[in-house]
Structure 1
Amino acid sequence: MTYLNTYKAPPPPVIPKHAHLETKPEEYDFNFYFDPKELITDRLQLRPLVPSLHARLLYDEIKKCDPSMLRWLVDYNTLDDFLAWFEGTIRSQPSALGYAIFSAPPGKEEPTKPEDFQIAGCCALINTDVGMMVSEIGWIIILEKFQRTHVLTHTAGLLAHRILDMPSEGGLGLRRCQWFATSLNEKSRAAALRLGFKEDGILRNHRVLVKGKEGANRGRPGDYREDCDSRDSWLACITWQDWESGAREHIDKLMARRK
């Protein structure tokens, strides 16, 4: 007996050098399932990330920070590395939408106009599934001088509102807002729980990491990626039921704090 199998691995995506660095903002295609939208509070704004507007500014600020900030994320050795990662992981995926985070300066209590906000990092909606009505908060990078400020709370709060609020309230009306983290990232896990996410559990050996990245498990001797660690993934979420029975008010109270 013979078995027909015509499968051929698709070629790797071709990502041009300087991916969209020169594309005019009005010509940049976000390629997302839903309409891109700016999200704003009195102290922070999430602007859909346009490489020609934000990539170089963001990359330059990331490189000023301690490299340990990217311990659990992709390392960007050059601006082209960042552009290629963003094109391949975010823009080319209809399930993802990247944001540049802009914030009032740290410690400034008086009102600040959005046009005077400073770059504070980046984040994204990822793994969005229209049919399953779910989206995930991910790829959060907060620049060092904005860590331990309002920035993470406002960023996550705005994204949770966008995912779980009904369309009449400016949201997408989805049913699940989820948060994934490597099991080793205790700060990320603590942040999610503080924000009101409920732990779902641990997915063991969930993802194989690129060579050199730290995971909870070493590679399997003799397999074709034995030199790459695997991570266990910690999963938490806020469901629409959680949102309507107190999680929304909890996040709003955190966002209303001045410190």
Structure 2
Amino acid sequence: MGLQEMTDQGDPIGQVVAGWVPRQRPAHMVLDGRTVRLEPLSVAHVPDLFAAYSADQAGRMWTYLAVGPFASESELAAWVGPLVSSEDPLFFAAVDRSSGKAVGIVSYLRIDPVNGSIEVGWVTWSPLMQRSAISTEAHYLLMKHAFEGLGYRRYEWKCNALNGPSMKAAARLGFTYEGTFRQAVIVKGRNRDTAWFSMIDKEWPTLRAAFEAWLKPDNFDADGRQRKRLQDFR
């Protein structure tokens, strides 16, 4: 079968990405939302973060992370310190707009401007923002900046394949499961099979509309409970 015949049968060598040029890398910046502000991570956030993380008395939020739990502010500060100037991963503190307190950490990582791919990771949400509008809006702000502000083509999510809540969160947020990399890494002396998820630029308009509809104040009752699920808007 010749090249022309193969091409006529469905472009087996890949679609041309017309006009593509490498994108800029994300910078240390503030991303503002209605319920949350993402700002460059600083050691000044440590007291708030330690107080927020201390609400997880059983330490369950650290089970699948490569660090933690932290027994003191100084231990947390020792971890946060070197992260402040890092550009990949690029770390943010999630600040609750209602309290002005930092309640979590998140980052961009595996930043690939040449191919327009970027991952969200180090999702270190305290109990004060888990399963909340704050956490969902934080993800929305990062996605929006990646696709619209930077013009990236692909946005990734990876997690331990045993981490059921993270797997469910990825699906809820609109990521597509792509497969599991077996024995990918060793974390805290234990094997980690890594589940890969992604969303791509052509999917973003539909996902964006769903996020924006879900985040509207009238989708929440007086106690802050959602009236409709995020998935219901897609």
**TM-score after normalising by structure 1:** 0.68
2:35 — aligned with what?
43
**Contact map agreement 2:178 2:197 (CA 8 A) in 1:** yes
Equivalents in 1 of 2:129, 2:25: separation in Å? 30
Partner of 2:203: 242
1:54 partner letter: H
Alignment equivalent of 1:97, drawn from 65, 87, 90: 90
AA paired with 2:195? W
Partner of 2:177: 199
Residue in structure 1 matched with residue 153 of structure 2 by the alignment: 175
- For the residues of structure 1 that align with 2:129 and 2:135, how far apart are their CA atoms? 8
CA distance in 2, matches of 1:151, 1:197: 19
SS at match of 1:69: helix
**Alignment match, 1:184:** 162
- Alpha-carbon shift at residue 83 of structure 1 (Å): 3.3
- Are 2:89 and 2:110, in contact at CA under 8 Å, matched by a contact in 1? yes
The answer to whether the aligner puts 1:122 opposite 2:105 as a matched pair is yes
Q: Identical aligned pairs, as a percentage?
A: 23
Amino acid at match of 1:159: L
* Alpha-carbon contact 1:238-1:247 (below 8 Å) kept: no
Pairwise mapping of residues 213-228 of structure 1 onto structure 2 (< 5 A)? 228=189
Match for residue 251 of structure 1?
Answer: 211
Confirm or deny that 1:133 pairs with 2:116: yes
Which of 53-62 and 177-186 deviates more?
Answer: 53-62
Q: Number of paired residues? A: 193
Instruction: Note the residue ranges of structure 2 that are not aligned, 5 or more in a row.
Output: 1-23, 221-225, 227-234
Shift of 1:255: 2.5
Q: CA RMSD in A?
A: 2.1
Verify the 8 A CA contact 1:59 1:79 in the aligned structure 2: yes
> What is the Cα deviation at residue 86 of structure 1?
3.2
Deviation of the 1:146 alpha carbon: 2.8
Distance change in 2, residues 1:251/1:132 (3 Å): same
For each residue in 1:89-134, what CA deviation from the matched residue of structure 2 results, as whole angstroms up to 9, or x when unmatched? x4464322111111245xxxxxxxxxx4333212111221222221
Amino acid at match of 2:49: L
Deviations 1:126-148 (A, max 9, x none): 22122222111111122213322
1:154 aligns with 2:137: yes
Normalised by the size of structure 2, how large is the TM-score? 0.74
Q: Distance in 1 between matches of 2:95 and 2:128?
A: 13
Q: Secondary structure at the match of 1:194?
A: helix
Matched, 1:58 2:41: no
Measured in 1, the distance between the counterparts of 2:105 and 2:60 equals 16
| C-alpha contact (below 8 Å) 2:174/2:199 kept by paired residues | yes
Q: 1-side partners of 2:42 and 2:79: how far apart?
A: 14
Q: In the aligned structure 1, how far is the partner of 2:174 from the partner of 2:185?
A: 25
How far is the alpha carbon of 1:254 from its aligned partner?
2.7
**Stretches (4+) displaced over 4 A:** none
State the SS of the aligned residue for 1:35: coil
Long gaps (5+) in structure 1: 1-31, 106-115, 166-170, 211-227
Distance change >3 Å, CA 87–CA 204, structure 1 → 2: farther
In structure 2, the partner of 1:81 is 75
